[in-house]
A and B are shown apart, each in its own frame.
Chain A
Amino acid sequence: MSREPVIGVQGVSKRFRRRGPRPATLKDLVRHPLEHRNRDDFWALKDVSLRVRAGETVGLIGANGSGKSTLLRLVGGLGKPTRGRIVTTRPVQAILSLGDTLDPYLTGRENATLIGILSGLRRREVVARLDEIAAFAELESFFDRPLRTYSEGMQLRLAFAAATSAAPEVLLLDEVMSVGDLRFQEKCFHRLEEMQQGGTAVLFASHDEEHVRRLCDRVVWLSHGEVAAHGSPDDVYARYETGMHLETARRSESLARDEPEHEAAAGEERFGTYEVEIAAVRIEPASVVSGRNDGGSLRIAVDLAPREPVEGPILVVTMHHADDYAKVLEVNTSGDGSELGRLDTPRTVTLDLDRLDVQPGEYRLSIGLFERDWKFAYDYHWHAYPVHVEDGGAGFGPPRRWSAT
Chain B
Amino acid sequence: MSVSRIELGSPRPTRRRRLGHRFDVTAHLVRTELATRHRGSLLGWLWALVPTLAQLVATYFLFTRVIPLDVPDYPVFLLVGILAWQWFTRSLGEGVGSLEQRRELALRPGFALELVPATSVLVALVDYLLALPVLVVALAVTNGLQPESVLLPLLLAIQLVYCVGLVLALAPLQVFVRDVRQIVALLVTVGFWITPVFYGVRQVPDSFVWVYRLNPMAHLIGAQREILIEGTWPEPGPLLVVALVGLAFLGAGWLLFRRLRDSVPEHL
Which residues of B sit under 8 angstroms from A374, Cβ to Cβ? none
Which residues of B sit under 8 angstroms from A101, Cβ to Cβ? 104-105, 108
Cβ of B262 within 8 Å of any chain A Cβ, yes or no, is: yes
Q: Which of B24, B32, B109, B179 has the most CB of A within 10 A?
A: B109
Question: For chain B, which range describes its interface: under 10, 10 to 19, 20 to 34, or 35 or more residues?
Answer: 35 or more
Q: Determine, out of A192-200, A353-361, A381-389, the stretch whose residues face the partner at the interface.
A: A192-200
Cβ of A343 within 8 Å of any chain B Cβ, yes or no, is: no
B110-A120 in contact (CB<8A): yes
Cβ of A41 within 8 Å of any chain B Cβ, yes or no, is: no
Cβ of A280 within 8 Å of any chain B Cβ, yes or no, is: no
Cβ of A77 within 8 Å of any chain B Cβ, yes or no, is: yes
Q: Nearest Cβ distance between residue A196 and chain B, in whole angstroms?
A: 10
Q: Which of B10, B25, B27 has the most CB of A within 10 A?
A: B10
Which residues of A sit under 8 angstroms from B25, Cβ to Cβ? 117-118
Known pairs A122-B21, A125-B10; A132 contacts B107 (CB<8 A):
no
Cβ of A295 within 8 Å of any chain B Cβ, yes or no, is: no
B179-A25 in contact (CB<8A): yes
Which residues of A sit under 8 angstroms from B104, Cβ to Cβ? 100-101
Residues from 244 to 301 in A contacting B, C-beta threshold 8 Å: none
Q: What 1/0 mask marks residues of chain A from 103 to 144 whose CB sits below 8 Å from any chain B CB? A: 101100010011001101111010000001000000000000
Residues from 42 to 61 in B contacting A, C-beta threshold 8 Å: none
Cβ of B177 within 8 Å of any chain A Cβ, yes or no, is: yes
Count residues of A near B (Cβ-Cβ below 8 Å). 52
Cβ of B189 within 8 Å of any chain A Cβ, yes or no, is: no
Residues from 5 to 24 in B contacting A, C-beta threshold 8 Å: 5-10, 13, 17, 20-21, 24
Known pairs A197-B1, A200-B8; A123 contacts B28 (CB<8 A):
yes
Cβ of A16 within 8 Å of any chain B Cβ, yes or no, is: yes
- Considering the complex, give the chain A residue whose CB is closest to the CB of B5: A132
A92-B6 in contact (CB<8A): no
How many angstroms between the C-alpha atoms of A23 and B177 in the bound complex?
6
Cβ of B266 within 8 Å of any chain A Cβ, yes or no, is: yes
B32-A117 in contact (CB<8A): no
A23-B28 in contact (CB<8A): no
Q: Which of A75, A79, A80, A92 has the most CB of B within 10 A?
A: A79
How many angstroms between the C-alpha atoms of A225 and B40 in the bound complex?
48
Which residues of A sit under 8 angstroms from B36, Cβ to Cβ? 103, 105-106
Which residues of A sit under 8 angstroms from B111, Cβ to Cβ? 118
Q: What 1/0 mask marks residues of chain A from 86 to 98 whose CB sits below 8 Å from any chain B CB? A: 0000111110100
Q: Determine, out of A60-68, A163-171, A314-322, the stretch whose residues face the partner at the interface.
A: A163-171
Cβ of A73 within 8 Å of any chain B Cβ, yes or no, is: yes
> Out of B8, B28, B179, B262, which one reaches A26, CB within 8 Å?
B179
Cβ of B101 within 8 Å of any chain A Cβ, yes or no, is: no
Q: Nearest Cβ distance between residue A97 and chain B, in whole angstroms?
A: 8
Which residues of B sit under 8 angstroms from A123, Cβ to Cβ? 24, 27-28
Cβ of A59 within 8 Å of any chain B Cβ, yes or no, is: no
A194-B4 in contact (CB<8A): yes
Cβ of A182 within 8 Å of any chain B Cβ, yes or no, is: no
B21-A120 in contact (CB<8A): yes
Cβ of A191 within 8 Å of any chain B Cβ, yes or no, is: yes
Known pairs A194-B1, A194-B6, A200-B8; A94 contacts B178 (CB<8 A):
no
Which residues of A sit under 8 angstroms from B109, Cβ to Cβ? 73, 75-78, 92-94, 96, 172
How many angstroms between the C-alpha atoms of A113 and B31 in the bound complex?
12
Which residues of A sit under 8 angstroms from B8, Cβ to Cβ? 167, 169, 195, 198-200
Q: Nearest Cβ distance between residue A396 and chain B, in whole angstroms?
A: 34
Q: Nearest Cβ distance between residue B150 and chain A, in whole angstroms?
A: 32
Q: Which of B7, B9, B104 has the most CB of A within 10 A?
A: B9
A164-B6 in contact (CB<8A): yes
Cβ of A394 within 8 Å of any chain B Cβ, yes or no, is: no
B266-A16 in contact (CB<8A): yes
Cβ of A22 within 8 Å of any chain B Cβ, yes or no, is: yes
Which residues of B sit under 8 angstroms from A34, Cβ to Cβ? none
Cβ of B176 within 8 Å of any chain A Cβ, yes or no, is: yes
14 new A-B contacts at CB < 8 Å, known A79-B262, A123-B28, A166-B9: A24-B178, A27-B179, A114-B28, A117-B25, A118-B25, A120-B110, A122-B21, A168-B9, A168-B10, A169-B8, A194-B1, A198-B4, A198-B6, A198-B8
24 A-B contact pairs sorted by A residue (CB < 8 Å): A25-B179, A76-B110, A77-B109, A77-B110, A91-B9, A92-B110, A93-B110, A94-B110, A100-B107, A103-B36, A110-B35, A114-B28, A117-B21, A117-B25, A118-B108, A121-B21, A122-B24, A166-B6, A167-B4, A167-B8, A168-B10, A169-B8, A195-B6, A198-B4
Kindly list the 8 A-B residue pairs having the minimum CB-CB distance in the complex, ordered from nearest: A76-B109, A198-B8, A100-B104, A78-B265, A94-B109, A194-B4, A123-B24, A167-B6
